[in-house]
Structure 1
């Protein structure tokens, strides 16, 4: 009875209890609300890049237990998918790159796992050992994703260099669902 009273008192007074939802879970649930939807984005940094010309679309296409797959289309290029996986209270980001025939690119499955539960609106992913082994110059990569009611952004900073990439998507205006990314069956 005493524990129940203390729990009630803590909730009533605004004291945070051990049952508080981890920020990574809040982030996950916010993103999961967009499952099945696609959104148009724009390049934030650099302001222009020939590799990212064309319409930029993200599609929160697959939301399975503990895994979300978000294809990122650049014009007709459907080679990129961001894969988020829950690892306890942390989230892992991997980049799945495919060729038009569906085969894996030689540079694929790189990324990192958040070093902590992050923020409810932002998760940060420093490059993991698999990335360092695959792409040695990317050992200093730090990716972060932000999500709130209005927008989703995907960002990359390579520590020790001028490399900074950012693309932002408007979550208030869903667009037509695109075709499947390369290597997927159209469902």
Structure 2
């Protein structure tokens, strides 16, 4: 594996190699929300390449997220399959992840999947109970939270009063 990394490094340069690693690692999907990549979520924080070693930094959506071990393993496997190595995946807790790190494309993917995406910059409003959550089915903001936790800990369960459909809401952090 080290030779494959060295062969890629020489002609292309460190920055091109870093971009290739970012592309491969960033395509890894979240095991709890398979329509989102870790790049969409903003969980992929950094990639560094130095002295023939690759380091990938990831930040969990919340402390204790059970998906992080699987994500780290999937990153290692994807990079190994693409011919990169050796790889170290490290978890970075500070600064804490925020929904503001999600891409607009990721927010749209959530909505299309039936999960209400967090509003950009919505974390502070959510702290004070001022969240307006639009129903991903009909778009109405006449919605109410019915449970603090939905299908996973990073989501809450809501219901639309207009169309009556229940839906998950990706919580703001």
Q: Which TM-score tier does this pair reach, normalised by the shorter chain?
A: under 0.3
Structure-1-length-normalised TM-score: 0.25
TM-score by length of 2: 0.27
Q: Which has the higher strand share?
A: 1
Larger relative contact order, structure 1 or 2 (CA cutoff 8 Å, min sep 6): 1
Give the number of the structure whose residues are more often helix, by fraction: 2
